[in-house]
A and B are shown apart, each in its own frame.
Chain A
């Protein structure tokens, strides 16, 4: 599988990461090496095999629908890089 710098830029954009030119070159080379190695999986016959998301036979785990107290707001806000009395602060997102 050939990986191009354009593909790496596209994926970096999706990941909210920016790469400088040197990093972009390194990552392109390394990802091509890694992805090419992963192509070995195409040799495995998986016709009719269901994708396995969870190894244990566990599904639809529920709990009683009971109201419980949430975390203390102040305790959670204390970790925020920028905040006011009651909310997280971010730059204006909608004009």
Chain B
């Protein structure tokens, strides 16, 4: 048995059965990281000694009734606060930031027996679709090192694809888990807004941000979600829901499930190989008993502008806290307080972050607020309404994750608008607060992974993962 071939749940079982110890699994992952990280730059911070100490302690505490992911080594995106472990957000301004507390999601996984291997690379402050805006250098796609892994959770997706750990936590504001999942060929899930506490997630756009898992399959995603979902008093936007037994609901049976394919997501701008693979996925889902049909979702032209107005506005507000006073990096040679703020922020933020702060400040500024920010909030209501209508007819929707497979490194950043437009299939899911999962569903002529996206109604996380799992059962050799 090569333990690297196992899923997270299978490794958890092997650990419980005594076929492998937690220190062995951890050492194996650290060896892969030592070999692969110089090539793909997935990790910013490695916690090798801490992970080995933790592995030994967990092994000593191993009991027959341990949780399913007990002892399984994993990685966390570097915008999730980890007490005592540097959390940079892939930025210069938080380059030396060591949080005094941990994110709730990580605390919960910790009590479920997770072994944290390290913190993974991303776009600076999660702003980007390629993981090239990191202050610590771009991440490279393990499937083809000349291509981007997607973003912003590119390090998390690359780590799982390159077997540098059995799963990773990412965050998704407009597709940042699902799109890198698609580019790297791993299963990535964005839960319903509010399902997972955002406490300790460094905020980009608070009304859209959500923490979620990137895994080898949908069953692993369900196990991670079960371990970390649920209301948290430290995040007042988190809500109670039917969580904790998602894994038990993955029975592979899709009889009676109605799946809608929005016609607008299969038209202009979509690569024909991606289209063919997603349509093939629809046929496989039908093979499991689902009723699949096309319908019209006439809001797709408005989702990208609405998303970028709202996300940038919230970012401009959220990032005002980085001023070189209470934590983080401070510029030198300032004359007064304003000079300190300006020099710190000007030298501390990268170009894409500045672009979004400026755009967000513009749409919130007096004279433009109504035409852009308020208008976008109204259109968001129209978009959420269109999805609500769709879910009165269908249980799930199926779309591509991204219009193309992974682009070459260095191709995207010079044309920000084009990069923003590639988020068209993922951003409406955040605007409407819905659960979505990106499922590998084939490869293009160059062997690059293609992803299909299953979307469910709010709190429909279990059904989304059940369909993803049924598909994976159907196509598993």
Contacts and interface: CB of A to CB of B under 8 A. Distances in A.
A34 B417 contact: yes
B378 A46 contact: yes
B458 A16 contact: no
Nearest to B304: A37
Given A79-B326, A90-B337, A17 B305 contact: no
Contact of B345 (A7, A16, A54, A93): A16
Contacts, number: 165
A90 B101 contact: no
B358 A58 contact: no
B325 interface: yes
B340 A90 contact: yes
A40 B305 contact: yes
Output the residue of B239, B334, B358, B378 with the most chain A CB within 10 A.
Answer: B358
Contacts of B323: 16
Contacts of A14: 361, 365
A37 B371 CA distance: 13
Nearest to B99: A79
A30 B236 contact: no
Contacts of B236: 58, 61
A93 B417 CA distance: 40
Given A8-B358, A31-B358, A46-B375, A53 B194 contact: no
Given A27-B358, A31-B355, A51-B381, 17 more contacts: A14-B365, A15-B357, A15-B358, A16-B320, A17-B342, A30-B417, A40-B305, A41-B375, A46-B382, A49-B378, A50-B381, A51-B380, A54-B237, A55-B384, A55-B431, A90-B337, A91-B340
30 contacts: A11-B358, A12-B358, A14-B365, A15-B316, A16-B323, A16-B338, A16-B345, A17-B354, A18-B342, A27-B354, A33-B417, A35-B362, A38-B308, A44-B302, A46-B375, A49-B378, A49-B381, A51-B374, A51-B377, A51-B378, A52-B377, A55-B193, A55-B458, A56-B237, A58-B239, A72-B100, A78-B100, A91-B336, A91-B337, A93-B337
Interface of A: 3, 7-8, 10-12, 14-19, 23, 27, 30-31, 33-35, 37-38, 40-42, 44, 46, 49-56, 58, 61, 63, 71-72, 75-76, 78-82, 88, 90-93
Interface of B: 97-101, 193-194, 207, 233, 236-237, 239, 301-302, 305-306, 308-309, 316, 320, 323-330, 334-343, 345-346, 349, 351, 354-355, 357-359, 361-362, 365, 371-372, 374-382, 384, 416-417, 420, 431-433, 458
